[in-house]
């Protein structure tokens, strides 16, 4: 067993893990953050996307120890207190979700995009989300939701 020390959603977290443990499994099983979904286990679907030092990564494809000493943000870390993040609000308002299974990964990929590029084009959004699969929505409303969130964040002057 190896001790893992990471920051998750702005708070220090520790876990005793096997050296082969995947980040997604540590988040879900050791830290109880089940918003990060396990979909395909092959890094194809994007349901497990989290931010690692602000960059979207598929947490089923990296060892937890690769996150040692780094900052991880999960979908649980998007909202603050009782206020939804503009992305979460926009996904609801624009009907950017149906079954919701892909939604955490979509939110995190979009969050990473908006942090890097606050005024993305439709093409930028499509490119940022291309590693995240949705079997329900057809992506049109997801793209609209990201555009709306970008507009909201720009009006508020926040990333």
- Among 60, 77, 94, the domain boundary falls at 77
Among 77, 102, 127, where does a domain finish? 77
Residues 146 and 103 in one domain: yes
Quickly state the pLDDT bin for 159 (edges 50, 70, 90): low
Co-location of 96 and 113 in the same domain:
yes
- pLDDT at res. 81: 82
Domain match, 17 and 73 both: yes
Whether 61 and 114 map to the same domain: the answer is no
Q: How many domains does the chain divide into?
A: 2
| Mean pLDDT (the chain, rounded) | 95
Phi, psi of 18 (to 5 degrees): -75, 150
Do 73 and 102 lie in a common domain? no
Do 35 and 53 have their domain in common?
yes
Residue numbers of the domain that contains 145: 86-156
pLDDT-based confidence at residue 80 (cuts at 50, 70, 90): confident
Residue 149 has pLDDT above 90, yes or no: yes
Q: Looking at the predicted structure, is the pLDDT value of residue 137 above 90?
A: no
pLDDT per residue as tens digits for the range 11-57: 999 999 999 999 999 999 999 999 999 988 788 999 999 999 999 99
Handedness of CA 97, 32, 24, 113 (dihedral sign): positive
* pLDDT (0 to 100) of residue 36: 96
Closest among 54, 69, 50, 62 to 4, alpha carbons compared: 69
CA 16, CA 138: separation in Å to the nearest integer?
A: 41
What's the confidence (pLDDT) of residue 107? 98
Which has more pLDDT, 64 or 156?
64
- For 93, other C-beta atoms within 10 Å of its C-beta total 15
- When pLDDT is cut at 50, 70 and 90, the band that residue 145 belongs to is very high
Burial of 43 (0-12, 13-18, 19+ CB in 10 A): middle
**With 0-12 CB in 10 A as exposed, 13-18 as middle and 19+ as buried, what is 132?**
buried
Could you tell me which residues come within 8 angstroms of residue 53 by beta carbon, excluding any fewer than 6 positions away?
70, 71
Give kind and range of the element (H or E) at residue 118.
none
Question: Do residue 11 and residue 56 come from a single domain?
Answer: yes
Q: Of 26, 52, 77, which marks where a domain is finished?
A: 77
Both tokens of residue 106?
């979509």
Looking at the structure, tell me whether residues 22 and 67 fall in a common domain: yes
Q: Is the pLDDT of residue 158 over 80?
A: no
- pTM metric for this prediction: 0.95
CATH number for the domain that contains residue 104: 1.10.150.120
Q: Are residues 65 and 95 in the same domain?
A: no
SS3 of 116, please?
Answer: helix
Whether residue 62 is found in the same domain as residue 102: no
- Do 150 and 95 lie in one domain? The reply is yes
Whether residue 54 sits in one domain with residue 21: yes
Q: Is the pLDDT of residue 90 over 70?
A: yes
Q: How far apart are CA 67 and CA 4, in angstroms?
A: 8
């Amino acid at each position: 067993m190896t001790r893992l020390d990471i920051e998750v959603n702005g708070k220090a977290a520790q876990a005793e893990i096997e050296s082969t443990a995947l980040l997604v499994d540590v988040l879900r099983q050791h830290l109880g953050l089940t918003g990060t979904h396990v979909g395909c286990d092959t890094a194809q679907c994007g349901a497990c996307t989290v931010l690692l030092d602000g960059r979207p990564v598929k947490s089923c494809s990296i060892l937890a120890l690769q996150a040692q000493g780094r900052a991880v943000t999960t979908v649980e870390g998007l909202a603050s207190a009782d206020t939804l993040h503009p992305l979460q609000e926009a996904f609801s308002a624009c009907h950017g979700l149906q079954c919701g299974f892909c939604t955490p990964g979509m939110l995190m990929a979009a969050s990473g995009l908006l942090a890097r590029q606050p005024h993305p084009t439709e093409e930028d959004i499509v490119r940022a989300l291309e590693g995240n699969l949705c079997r329900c929505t057809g992506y049109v409303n997801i793209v609209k939701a990201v555009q709306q969130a970008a507009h909201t964040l720009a009006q508020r002057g926040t990333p």
